[in-house]
Structure 1
Amino acid sequence: MQRPMHVGLTGGIGSGKSTLGQMLQSCGAVLIDADAIARGVTAAGGAAIADIRAAFGPDAIDATGAMDRVRMRALAFSAPQARAQLEAIVHPWVTRLGDQQAQDARVAGNRVIVFDIPLLVESGRWVRKLDAVVVVDCSTETQIHRVMARNGLERAAVQAILDTQASRPARRAAADAVVLNDGIALDTLRSHAIELARLFGL
């Protein structure tokens, strides 16, 4: 069985990375979304909930039984040690479940697997596992405005998130392809996705 192509997809918060990932999926790639897996394991009944409650107390869990995302986001970005502790709980689950999804895609004979990984560059461990890295890029100001509009966060809160992520030059330096998603229409972004899909053999 031929090994599928492994493509890493990354970009800063608000860059449009997830939108491009969904477009690549519509072109025939298998999309493994690290954020979606993380949301699943921290949802009510999720695999990481018991460990989060044990590490951070009952206030870390909301009334539905899911991780209190607002509270934990504020804690994670104000206390680096807490962020590292939360990542140490969640990231192994994301890796384990992502690996299982990738194995399922290989068994099914899929030709291209796209790994949507927000912290691909920051992790330092993904690049050697990938055949190509696609970075979705836009100006910092665009990122801030998109996230403020999408998440209802204050500008300072978005900037705090950006400060924990790799710089634009660092992400671009790790890229085999860069998609500039700044001031373009969705149809233009879709045309970039189609072009990438063809390059990857879809």
Structure 2
Amino acid sequence: MFLIGLTGGIASGKSTVSEMFRRLGSAVIDADKVAREVVLPGKPAWKKIKQIFGEEFILDNGSVDRDKLGQVIFNDDKKRKLLNSITHPEIQKNIIWKCVWLLITGHQFVILDLPLLFETGNMLPYLTFTVVVSCSTDQQIKRLMSRNNLTREEAINRIDIQMPLTQKCHLAAAVIDNSGERDLTEKQVVDWFKRFCASRAHWKVRILIFLAFVVLWGFYKFILGFFR
């Protein structure tokens, strides 16, 4: 099994592309979904958020007030880094376990939907391919204003927090242009899906696992023979 990192800028259409890959049959791990899972009431990250940020960021039903927390971290770099230091380790552990399960169940590749793929860089050493979903800055602003009911200034501020989309495109192995019609985006997704399916990168991992199994089995047999 090999890993593919999928990222983009905020409101560039990454989730749309991720869902297109999923409908084609790809295994997809959505980091945003995992991020919501790790802050569920009672989870370690939830406890730290409650302790460090305070009760005012916890709703009556016990869940984290994501909207209120988002307003704070988008305007305070230190608090954003503090929240990331709480949630990112938990998110990474969760993603690793999901990858292990998908490996055991025989998937050829897994797409990791990671909004901050290049910003953090933590997963880059483990990826075979990186894919960026791109569109124009003006499209980002308009989509974000419509989706999150933001002013133009608020939308620009949220976009500016992340690494520029043009820079991500230069770093990626593949770019999917989501600035046009949906059919054009979907055609690009299908083309890349076919390339991933044709790749033999997963055999490297399978061979390494097989060799590791052989070594462990040999060691096990040696120990049994030693104590006989």
**TM-score past 0.5 threshold:** yes
Matched, 1:40 2:37: yes
Matched residue, 1:124: 121
**Partner in structure 2 of residue 70 of structure 1:** 67
Q: Which of 180, 188, 191 in structure 1 is aligned with 2:187?
A: 191
Which position in structure 2 is the counterpart of 1:201?
A: 197
CA separation in 2, counterparts of 1:109 and 1:169? 35
Q: Are 2:180 and 1:169 aligned?
A: no
How many Å apart are 1:94 and its aligned residue?
0.6
* Residue matched to 1:28: 25
* Residue ranges of structure 2 left out of the alignment (5+ in a row): 199-228
1:83-162 equivalent positions in 2, closer than 5 A = 83-162=80-159
Q: Which has the higher helix share?
A: 2
For 1:168 and 1:64, the matched residues in 2 are separated by 37
> Quick one: which of 8, 12, 15 aligns to 2:9?
12
When the two structures are superposed, what TM-score results if normalisation uses the length of structure 1?
Answer: 0.93
- In the alignment, the residues of structure 1 paired with residue 67 and residue 17 of structure 2 have an alpha-carbon distance, to the nearest angstrom, of 26
Kept in 2: contact 1:45–1:66 (CA 8 A)? no
Answer yes or no: is the 8 Å Cα contact 1:48–1:89 preserved in 2.
Answer: yes
Q: Secondary structure at the match of 1:78?
A: coil
Alignment correspondent of 2:201 = none
- Please report how far the alpha carbon of residue 142 of structure 1 lies from its aligned counterpart in structure 2 after TM superposition: 0.4
SS of aligned partner of 2:180? coil
Number of residues paired by the alignment? 198
Q: Which amino acid aligns with 1:69?
A: R
Unaligned runs of 5+ in 1: none
Root mean square deviation of aligned Cα = 1.4
TM-score if structure 2 supplies the norm length? Answer: 0.83
Select the structure of larger CA radius of gyration: 2
Identical-residue share of aligned pairs (%): 33
* Aligned equivalents of 1:105, 1:47: Cα separation in 2: 24
Counterpart position of 2:215: none
3-state SS in 1 of match to 2:36: helix
Post-superposition offset of 1:40: 1.7
CA separation in 1, counterparts of 2:79 and 2:104?
38
